Structures are given as structure tokens and as C-alpha cells.
Structure 1
Amino acid sequence: MRITRAFVLPLVLLAGLATACSGSSGGSGGGTPTEGGTAVFAEAPGTQPNWIFPFVDSAHNSGYATGDLQQLMYRELYWFGDAKGSTGVNTTKSLADPPVFSDNNSKVVINVKPYKWSNGETVNAKDVVFWMNMMFAEKANWYGYVPGQFPDNVKSATATGPQQVTLQLTDSYSPTWFTGQELAQIAPLPMAWDKTSDSAAAGSGGCADDRAKCDAVYKYLFGKSKDLSTYATDPLWQVVDGPWHLTAFDAEGNISYDPNPKYSGPDKPHLAHYKMQPFTSTSAEFNALRSGKTVNVGSVQGADLPQKKASEKLPATNPLQANYDLVPAYGWGWSTTLLNMDNPTFGAAFKQLYLRQAMQQTLDQETDVNVAFRGYGAPTTGPVPVNPDNEYVTASERGAGPYPFDKTKAKGLLTGHGWTLQNGAMTCTSPGTAPNQCGAGVTAGTRLEFSLQYSTGNPAYGRIMQQWKSDAAEAGIVFDLKGQEFNALINDISSCHGSGPTCEWQMGFFGYQQYNAVPTGDQLLLPGSTGNIGNYDDPQLDKLIQATLHSDDKNAFAAYEDYAVKSLPGQINMPLRTYIEVVDKKLGGVAFPAVQTARSPEEWYFTK
């Protein structure tokens, strides 16, 4: 699950970038398609990619690095989503045929298509095993690792032919979940990377054959990825199987790509060049869009668009009509403020459901959507996004959810559980575990005064935080707001697991955590998951999540979703912005698929 920042294109990983959006397309598409030309994409402030190695650790788990950098060059085994809104396997863009499950869904056969690396070698079964061996050896360094799941649920990964890999699993698993969540993580690695030094021969590291040798290879590649200044010049990173390779890169986000001449996929680039241009502020990007001269694809904030109703996809007028089409797109993830369950001061309080309910009831999502977002967004009531409409949403997530905005009820919940308003903040005056007391571990004198860190860059998020602070104060909940750039915030909170000085953050909002194809809770909520940033643990929730992993029964998924909606598992639901993308009227082939992490500039073309 990628971490992404909710006011810009996904995205992360999450992971985060969020380019995972609904099945929408833009650009006139009119006229005659041409070959060549340079398309420029506008990066939102503070979202510059900063990690090239596709085996991503938690500290670098950003959808921006994944979708704006890695996946343009290093393809994952399976690609999901298309311009029509599908969330399933995109068989055309995937590096392998659809997986074949057998033996009561405990065996998976993967047939790898004979794509080519840019050095002329074939993408083959050994490259997949290289990745799997790295995963077995370095699972603790993988952003999506969940104890008991990938790769723990794989007994063996064997090349059973030059282009075939067979996985023997430890149990019977849902083919939908295993494909959309587990197999979606695999990115074949070239033999040119299986080494431990620049001067070593390709394959000499031995990781592709022996996982015991992977640690040294991993340390070498991780160290190389730290040096952003060499991304476009180091021969190592020029070995690609995707449609693009880097020609220029700097840490500020000025990035240039040219087509990979050896790319063997069906969607070869039409453009001669693709560039990414950073901006220091959303207003600077909007000014560039108004000029219509330097940017071909970007995004526009609600503050720069006419007010609209939340139910409407687009505003009545387009302020960029002269040069651009507006295209609505939606984030495929869960937008929340995370609570640190291990915080030494407030962890015990955060574990009390009544407190999470009270905090949720002080958040006026309807006002946030209509005022801060100006109609470009939707409330979040649970783990599954309601836009675009999809097969996973249950009735429990429709409407305002079980905890609509109500400051009076929020205050009543607190006073009914042993809290008294003292000097502007609710204070625990009745510690203990009785129904009318503060709850296990909450000490007398604890005051509901929290540090709330949030991602800056979009003025709308500052307005939402200020509104929440004001409303929560009326219920005796006090927030000390601390705005930070996205990358700095992620570094502060996502690398923390357990107790100690590095885990003293209390509440954090960076946008949303982006799903792969299936919006399950395993990577986000199961104990030990690197995506479970707040270390939430609920045995009943764990049981319900596990049921979704072993069956395609929609009732199992609904049971998990309904429970998560009611239990607010370690987080407070936040409104999710609707992205409004802008696409040059002379540019065709641009789409924003629902679950696709990466953009696909190889499909873009200018018209005449």
C-alpha cells in the first residue's frame, strides 16, 4: 500500500503521487495523431520523486517515487486498471500472462512474456526469482511486508521453465486477493543488478540463485539509490524493461525521459521526450497553466476553479478552456489521520473507541468538502473509497457513516467516560476501566491536548485543519497543528514502530494510503505490517481481514468493511479530494485509470 498525498495526483505507496485514479481520460483526441514532440507534466509542490530502486523500504514508500519514476522504467509483473475503469489485471500491459491457480488455490504458475531489457537480455523466470529471493532475504526492508504474508506465505518460488515461475503457497488463498495484492508487488530485476560493486560482473552477486547472498546485493543497490545525482548517468539504472529511460534528473524534480529503443511492449511511446517540471506552489503551477505554454498535463486546485456541488463531476465553466480540458479523477485509497497507538503519553487514550468516535464527530467533513475543497471531494466513512463506485463498497459507508459531525455528542461521549473540561481541555478525572471511566491505561490528569502533524502545500489542507481545531476545541479536544512538507512528514512517522524517542509523534495526516487492486486491510491494519504505521491491533479485526485473504466470498469482505467502519481502527476518517486534472487539448491518449499507480506517457500523442 503506497503512501500518497491526497491533494495531488497519486499515490504512493501508497505507497505513495497519487496517480491511482478513476477511469477517466482527457485531451481532445481529435485531429490526426502524430509521432514526436515533448510532453511536460507538472509536479505538485513537494512531491519530487526521490528513490529509484524498486525494492522500496518504508522510509521511501511514496507513490510519487513509484509512479513518476520507477514504473516508467522498471515494470511490475502485473499491471492493473485501464481507461474504462477496470480494477483487474491489464493483460496488455502486464509482463506476464494471467496467473494460473491450482491445487485448491495453493499453487500459482506464472508465465512471463519474453520482453527485453534495454541491454538485450530477455525478461525471464530467473529475473522473477531474483526478486523473490530478495524478498525472502530482505522482507523486513520491504515497505509492504506483513508477518505471515508475502513472502512468508510462499513455500517456494522456482523457475520451472525459461519463462515460467511456480509458486507453492502455504495455504489456499483467494486468487483475487493474491493476484491483486501479493503478485502485484513483484518487479523482475535484471541480472545486471545482481552484483555487490560497480566493478563486479553481472550475476556475480548470486542472489538470483541463492537468497543467502542477497543481503550484500541489497546493500549495494540500496546504497546506489541514495545518490540521486547519478540517477540519469549511472549505467546500472539505465538497464530498463519499461518504455522509458532517464536522460536528466535532479533532486528538485527536474526530470527528463526518452523512449527506451529496446522496449518490447505493445504500447511503444509516440513522444520523442517526456519531462516533469516541479513547482514551488500550487499558484505557480496554475499561473503556468493559464499561460498555456509550458505544461501539457497537470492538476488544478479547487481554489482556482468555480465552486460546484460535490455530486457534480466538473464545474459549469472551465477557466483554462482556451488550452486545456478538465478531467475528474479519484484516489483509490483510504484518507485518514493516523493515531500513534504506542505514543507514551496518549497511546492508551487512542486505544479507547469512545475517544476515536468523539474525535470523528468533531470533524465536519461536509463543510470541508464544500468550503475547503469547494465541492471537489467526498467524505470518507471507512476503508473503501466511494468514488469511483465499485463492487467493494457496502451500505455502511454510504452517506455520513455511523459517526456524523456532532460536537455535542462528542463532548457527551467524553464526559460520560470520566473526562471533565478543565482550563479548555478535557481532563481524565475518573481513571479506571468501568464503562463510565477513562479506560485501561489512561491516567488521572491526562489532558486531550494533541500534536497534529499534517502535510502542507495545498491551502485547502490548512483550512481543514484549522476548522477541525476550532470544532474539536468546543468538545474539549485541543490540537497543536504542525504543518510539514510531505517527504519530511513521511520520514517522521512512517519509520516508527514500537516505543522510544523516535515514536513520540501523536497524530499524523499525509493524505491517503493507496491500495493495490484490492482494497483489503492486511497491509494497513494487521499487526507487524510496515504499513500499519500507528501499530493498531484488534484481534477481531485481524480475524475478519484474514477471512478476506482466503476466500473470494463478498460476504467476508463486507464483514471486514462493516467492522472497520464502526471501529475506526487507529485512525480518523478524512475527506478525500477529487482530483481535477488538466490535459492539453492537443494531446491525446491521456487517461487516469482507477488503480494504476503510474502514468502512461507512452500512450500520449500530439495531434494536428
Structure 2
Amino acid sequence: MTAQLTDAAELAKDGERPKKGGVVTWACAPGFPPAVIFPFTPPERMGTRNVIEFQALMYRTLYYFGNSGKPEVDYELSIGEEPEWSEDGLTATITVKPWKWSNGETLCADNVLFWVNLMKVKGARYGEYVPGYFPDNCVDYGKVAEDKVYFTFDKAYSKRWMLFNQFSTITPLPKAWDRTAAGPANASGDLADVEAVYDYLIEQQGNAVEENNAHRTKWADSPLWSIVSGPWRLKSYTLEGVVTFVPNEHYSGPNKPHIDEFRQLPTFSDEEQFQMLQDGTVQVGYLPLSFAAGSTDDPTKGGDNPLGERFRLAPQVVYCIRYISLNFNNPTVAGKLLAQTYLRQALQSCLDQDTAVREIYQGYAYRQNGPVPMIPATDLVSPGQRGAAWPLPFDVARAKQLLEDNGWDTSQSPAVCVRPGTGPGQAGEGIPAGTKLSILLRYVEGRPALTELMRRFKRDAAAAGIELRLQEVYGSILVAEDAPCVPSEETPCLWEMCCWNGGWVYHHPTGEIVFKTDAGGNFGHWTDARADELIERTVTSDDLDVLYEYQDYIAEQVPVIFTPNFPIRLLEYAGNLRGVEPINPFANIAPENWYYVEDGEQ
């Protein structure tokens, strides 16, 4: 039985007097207003703000991850029962609980198959799709009964991987969405109907990369998007970007909302966020690192709180990695530069993570050595990357030597290519003699700690001979413009390096979503046959040595520049608000669990 909050009697067991109702206002991180309501999110909008903090409140995935703060599936809060596997490990059967949609329909097998068929036909437009994996690796799937589906796979896979990284993508969709402008369709049963249904839903959604909120203001009154399975429904989305949720009266889960309204306010900088907290105009927000009082030796625990007793400080530590994305599809010489392993290794060697952890992040951070999260400490991290072990430590002299050994004159900065060609000691394919080693690095604005990290990275890279041209960009614009792309007349694909102050939140850290060729989360389109081979082994085996070999290879090849990891937020919440903790390790938020206590109880 999970320790979710259910009723006033249970809430009052510790002597507190819970208050029914009230409004909680959440000050959101700068730069990322919700841009997609249709929970089939494209790669350019696949992120925490859209998927976890917006869509998931209304549209529940088949499985809910994070059980009372532990990194496991919470079956009580899941629509799907635990998968039942055949003896040969090839077929999984899943029973769908008879929960209700807000329009009275019962959740059923067809709702699951609707999603799977969308993935089958339009997978390339979904941010977590990986070619060759779910549902491409299903040799057969379908409906066993009105409440039961089955999936038969081409071979036996790791059952944990299948549950955590494959079935986790499924979001059951209501029958009412299975239509076109002409009327009802059958995308849940006929692949031929999927294209037209998808086009209709995208039309109703509106342009996902358009920054104007005009089309978003219509979502709350939409006969489509108002049909929800989660604990919340959208009340309004204003032109100013204020998002307001109210409880879904028909929610079937055991943790019904206690508050009357959950409101999300846009912010534009860390300074504005802190001012809102000081003024008491919001009940939930985050403490900007630049305002942290003193340092901490443990990023999972809050230190001194400059807001005093009015707020509680809880680092929102989740199972993730952070990095700077590189565009391997850039058709100019910049793309040729980034294709060189020695250059990526040099770039990684110029990023001083340890000093940044101490001086920029006040100890609320930790070094990220490779593609598997370092916190919480687990045996999933390769021995070669644990503790003091580090494949590419901060070493400007080594970075400079890597460039000199591969055809660059570093006596000037930026360095200049003096030995073009593809042979030993030469700069690499497509890099002409005389090329200056200069790369554009765009990053999200409004985050002083990130700005300082980028400033120091630029300084140390210059000492090695690499010029980083820094440019701050509003977050939502940044991820829309510096998105996964293939060069064409319409999309020149000219971005070079991009840092949105994030990376990837894992369920199980096998890497196929981020590093496999053509995967939806492979934003830079890195491709490497050896990496693909190693990833394929990790998804079919639970042998830790297999996972170690994969991550050591990724750390050496540097398909992204790993940056210091830190909590998503130093979460601040009002002293009379309860239910915010324990923190979900997969970044889910659950305002349905939040409630106020009587005044005077802190």
C-alpha cells in the first residue's frame, strides 16, 4: 500500500488540522511555458515543463513512477496492472483498470491501442520514440478483452527495461479523440485511420513552436482537451501565460485533490522568482542558487533557508543527467568540427565541474561523469566513473595538447587548422586549412548560475585555443530553434551547441532514448555504430557489466558535454502547506496530494 494522502482522517493522524480547499500558486522556472497539450509530444517540445508539470496532471500514463519517494512503479496510482509475462519472456499481457474518463467513458484496451497505433505510424513525431524499439519490436499486439491488451516481441528483453522505458511511454487516449473533422474514426483498430486522426488532433492543438499564446487560450474550453483521466483539468490558459487547474471531479485514483485550484505563474528570471517568494505572492517556487544562504555538502538536503520559517526548503533531486547538446547535423564546418572525438574530449576537459559545484552551485550540485546519474549512488554507475574516478577530468593543458596533436596551432586563440586531412595527426574530414576553432554556444537566459558556468567555460576553453561565442536566448525559443533537425531549404539546421540548463530524466539509464541513432531524445543526431551495438545489449540484459561497458564508451566518446548536475529546483513551499514531500525521483509533481493546515501550524 503506498503512502498517498486520501482523506481528512488520515491527514490529521499527526495532530495537524488539514484545511479543505484553498489555492496554491506555483512560480514556474523562466523560459518554458507549456506549449503542447496533446500528450504525444514532439521532440522539440519534449521536456519536464510540458510533459511532467502540465500534461501529466490531466492525462495519466499507463504507469505512474515514483512510489513514496522511491524509484519504483506505484501500481496503486497506475492505470495499468503489473504486466504478466509468458514463460518464454516474449509476450506481456496488461490489464487496464476500470478508471473513468471525465466524460464518463471507462478506460479500456482500445484507449491503450489508440496510443500504440499512433506510435506505430507517427513515432518519428514523438520525443521518446526510438526506431527499432517499442512498438517496432512488436511482432504482434492487440486486444484480449475490453480491459486487456497483449504485446508479443521479436525476442526476450529485460523486463525492467521494458516496464520502465517502453511501457512507460504509453498514455491511454480517450475514444472521443479518435476522430477527424468529418466525424468518428477508428485509429485504435485500423492503422489506415491514424494519419488523418493525428493531423486533426495536431490542428486542434495548434502550432507547437509558435510562441503566441492565443491558440493556447482555447484549450480549456476544447471538447477534446477537456476530457481527462488525471486528477486535474485545465480551467484556463491566459494570454499572459498563467495556467490554472481545477480538480477533475471524476478522477478515479485514490489520491483526490484537496485544494480548490492549482495555478502556475510564468516567470522571466531568477530575480523575479525570488521576489515573488519574498512577497508571499506564491506558495511554491524555487530558491535561485545565486540567492542560496551558505553552502551545503549534500545536494539532496536543504541548507540554511534565506526565507526563514515562512517556507520550507526541499531540493528537488531527480534521476537525471545534464549536458550541452551538440549538433552533428550542422552542414557547415561547425558540424565537421563537432564530429571529431578529440575536439569533444577537449571541450569536456575545459569544463571545470568541481569548482562550479563549490563556487557557483554552493554545493547544491555534483559532478556528472557520464551518461548514468551519479545521485542517488547506485551500483548502476560504472566503477570507472564512481567517486574520484573520472574519464575526462578538468585539464586545460590536456585539451590544448589534444588540439595540437590533431593539426591545430594553439599559439593563437582561437586555434587555427594547420594540418587538414583525415590521416593521423590531422584535423579531420571537412575542416580546411586556416579554419579558426570557433563554435557558437547558445544557452537559456534568466539563470545567473548557468550564465556564470558558461562564462567560465568560455574562459577555460579559450586558454586551450577554442573560442566559444556565447548567446543567451529565451528558453522556449531556444529549444524550438535549436531542435533536432535534418538540413533542408526550410530547415538549414545551423545551430551548433545548445544548453537549456537541463538534459534527460531517466527511469532506467540504458540510453537508447538519448544516444541511439535517430532516437527522439537524440537532439544532436549523434550516430555511432558501436554505441548502437552496446545500447542494444543493455536493453536485452540486466548484467551490470553490459551497462558499464556502454556508459564507459559514451563517457569516452563525449556525444554531449556533461555539465554539473543539480536539483531541478531548490523547492520552496509555504510553511503551512503539506504533501509536497517526499520528492518524486522522476520529477513528477502531485498537487493533488497538497493541502493546507490550520493557521499557526508550521
Compute the TM-score of the two structures, normalised by the length of structure 2. Answer: 0.92
C-alpha distance after superposition, 1:370-423 (max 9, x if no partner)? 222222211211011112223422222223612111111111111122111364
34-43 or 437-446, which deviates more: 437-446
Q: Distance in 1 between matches of 2:247 and 2:303?
A: 38
CA distance in 1, matches of 2:279, 2:14: 21
Look up the match of 1:574: 563
Q: Which residue does the alignment assign to 2:418?
A: 429
- Please tell me whether the aligned partners of residues 318 and 587 of structure 2 are also in contact (alpha carbons under 8 angstroms): no
**After the TM superposition, which residues 402-413 of structure 1 pair with which residues of structure 2 at under 5 Å, given as runs?**
402-413=391-402
One-letter code aligned to 2:140:
S
State the partner residue of 1:369: 357
Contact in 2 for aligned 1:361/1:410 (Cα 8 Å) = yes
* Residues 39-54 of structure 1 mapped to structure 2, 5 A cutoff: 39-54=24-39
CA distance in 2, matches of 1:502, 1:577: 33
- Aligned partner of 2:256 in structure 1 is 268
- 2:129 maps to which of 139, 145, 159: 145
Measure, in 2, the Cα distance between the counterparts of 1:454 and 1:547: 34
What's the secondary structure of 1:87's corresponding residue? strand
Q: Which runs of 5+ in 2 are unaligned?
A: 1-12, 207-214
Deviates further, 243-252 or 388-397: 388-397
Structure-1 separation of matches of 2:36 and 2:77: 23
1:237-295 Cα offsets, whole Å, 9 max, x none, are: 11111111111112533111111111111111111211112223221221121123x22
Q: What SS class does the counterpart of residue 333 from structure 2 fall into?
A: coil
- Give the partner amino acid of 1:541: A
- 1:214 paired with 2:194, answer yes
Secondary structure in structure 1 of the residue aligned to 2:470? strand
Task: Look up the match of 1:196.
Answer: 180
- Partner of 1:217, secondary structure, is helix
User: Separation in 2 of the partners of 1:316 and 1:205?
Assistant: 55
SS where residue 256 of structure 1 aligns? strand
Q: Give the equivalent residue in structure 2 for 1:465.
A: 454
Give the stretch that moved more between structures: 262-271 or 140-149. 140-149
Give the letter aligned to residue 294 of structure 2: Q
TM alignment of 1:112-511, pairs within 5 A? 112-197=96-181, 201=183, 204-226=184-206, 227-292=215-280, 294-311=281-298, 313-314=300-301, 316-343=303-330, 344-398=332-386, 399=388, 401-421=390-410, 423-498=412-487, 502-511=492-501
For 1:432 and 1:29, the matched residues in 2 are separated by: 72
Amino acid at match of 2:596: F
Counterpart of 1:67 in structure 2 is 52
Q: Provide the rounded CA distance (Å) in 2 between the counterparts of 1:607 and 1:325.
A: 14
- Counterpart in 2 of 1:25? none
User: Residue 538 in 1 paired to residue 528 in 2?
Assistant: yes
Letter in 2 for 1:478: E
d(CA) in 2 for partners of 1:259 and 1:29? Answer: 26
Task: Report SS of the residue matched to 1:359.
Answer: helix
Letter in 1 for 2:179: K
Could you tell me which of 478, 485, 508 is aligned with 1:518?
508
Whole-Å separation in 2 of the counterparts to 1:535 and 1:209: 33
Q: Distance in 2 between matches of 1:126 and 1:539?
A: 37
Instruction: Answer yes or no: is 1:602 the counterpart of 2:592.
Output: yes
Question: By how many angstroms is 1:446 displaced?
Answer: 2.1
1:37 corresponds to: 22
Report the Cα offset of residue 535 of structure 1: 1.6
Shift of 1:220: 0.8
Letter in 2 for 1:170: D
CA contact (8 A) 2:484 2:525 kept: no
Give the percent of matched residue pairs that are identical in Structure 1 and Structure 2.
35
Following TM superposition, by how much is the alpha carbon of 1:313 offset from its aligned partner in structure 2, in angstroms? 4.4
Aligned match of 2:519:
529
2:66 is aligned to 81
- Evaluate the alpha carbon distance shift between residue 29 and residue 65 of structure 1 in structure 2; reply closer, same or farther with a 3 A threshold: farther
Aligned-pair RMSD on alpha carbons? 1.9
CA drift of 1:38 comes to 1.3
**Which amino acid counterpart does residue 212 of structure 1 have in structure 2?**
A
Query: CA–CA distance in 2 between the matches of 1:488 and 1:264?
Result: 37
Compute the displacement of 1:165 (Å): 0.4
Equivalent position amino acid for 2:404 in 1: T
1:555 and 2:545 correspond: yes
> Contact 1:29/1:607 (CA < 8 Å) preserved in 2?
no
How much does 1:333 deviate? 2.1
Q: Whose relative contact order is higher, 1 or 2, with alpha carbons under 8 Å and at least 6 apart?
A: 1
Q: How many Å separate the matches in 1 of 2:238 and 2:596?
A: 27
Inter-partner Cα distance in structure 2 for 1:105 and 1:512: 36
- Look up the equivalent residue of 1:591 and give its one-letter code: E
Aligned letter for 2:254? P
Conserved 8 A contact 2:317-2:583: no
Instruction: For residue 593 of structure 1, report the CA deviation from its aligned partner.
Output: 3.9
CA distance in 2, matches of 1:285, 1:65: 19
Q: Which amino acid aligns with 2:176?
A: A
Distance (Å, rounded) in 2 between the aligned partners of 1:97 and 1:251: 40
Q: Distance in 1 between matches of 2:153 and 2:483?
A: 30
- Cα distance in structure 2, aligned partners of 1:41 and 1:391: 36
CA distance in 2, matches of 1:316, 1:563: 36
Distance 1:543 1:287 in 2: 50
The CA distance in 2 between the partners of 1:580 and 1:391, in whole Å, is: 26
Check whether the contact 1:31–1:607 (CA below 8 A) recurs between aligned residues: yes
Q: Are 2:441 and 2:471, in contact at CA under 8 Å, matched by a contact in 1?
A: yes
Q: How far apart, CA to CA, are the structure 2 residues paired with 1:122 and 1:363?
A: 52
CA distance in 2, matches of 1:597, 1:154: 29
Partner SS, residue 245 of structure 1: strand
Q: Is the 8 A contact 2:259 2:592 kept in 1?
A: yes
Task: Tell me by how many angstroms 1:120 deviates.
Answer: 0.7
Structure 2 Cα separation of the partners of residues 92 and 421 of structure 1: 60
My pick for the range that moved more, 339-348 or 546-555, is: 339-348
Aligned with 2:75 (options 88, 91, 108): 91
Distance in 2 between residues matched to 1:434 and 1:270, nearest whole Å: 67
Q: Secondary structure at the match of 1:159?
A: strand
Alpha-carbon distance in 2 for matches of 1:410, 1:30? 60
Moved more, 434-443 or 540-549: 434-443
Query: Separation in 2 of the partners of 1:368 and 1:39?
Result: 34
**Moved runs in structure 1, 4+ residues, more than 6 A?**
none
Whether the 8 Å CA contact 2:348–2:562 is kept in 1: the answer is yes
Task: Indicate conservation of the 8 Å contact 1:29/1:586, yes or no.
Answer: no
